[in-house]
Amino acid sequence: MRPGVFIPRPETELALDLLREHASWPLEQIVDLCTGGGALGAAVLDESPGARVLAVEVDGAAAELAAENLELAGPGRGRVPHADLLGEVPELAAAAPVDAVLSNPPYIPAGAVPQDPEVLAHDPHRALFGGGEDGLEVPRAVVAWAARSLRPGGLLVMEHADVQGEATRALARDHGGFEGILTAPDLTGRDRFLIARRRASESQDGHGRLSR
């Protein structure tokens, strides 16, 4: 890692365990949204020799580091667009349909103070605060992009705060197009991951809306 780039925590690695447990393997195309320094995407490339990863990051310094890390983990198999999920991401739209979407987005609500002093002192605030009073503006965008990008049966695994399990399930449920929506715990038993599968029985238009 480098100064100004979010430092991934051990619990984030659980996203890979959840992907192994719930996804249909082998996986060929995986998207890592809000990739930071690219730790998740690089781990996927390292463990899945046949996979390709598209990792999206809004911060320029983090995107540069992520590109280096993905190239080291899987030469020629990773791309890192420098883009904001709250806007248009042509590379992400063009990648669909994909097998899985992973994300550790910023999710801390406005006005909240991170409990870990190390996080508060060293991690960039842009990588911590998710936008809006509830902190769910960026996670909401992740869910929307997942609904638009995943193939039928494809899997979304998104990290969140331990108090946001119900709220993130509601994001997936209210957006539509998902099934098997559940919350998975971290190593301490706290609710930390949204899991949702792209519904296979319905299709979607180019804007992520359901069509029957």
**Where does residue 206 rank: exposed (0-12), middle (13-18), buried (19+ CB within 10 A)?**
exposed
Distance CA 68, CA 70 (A): 6
Give the chain's count of helices (H) and strands (E).
7, 9
Q: For the sheet with 52-56, list strands across it.
A: 78-79, 52-56, 29-33, 98-103, 150-159, 191-198, 178-185
Catalytic residue numbers read 6, 104-105
126: alpha, beta or left? (left if phi > 0; alpha if psi -120 to 50): alpha
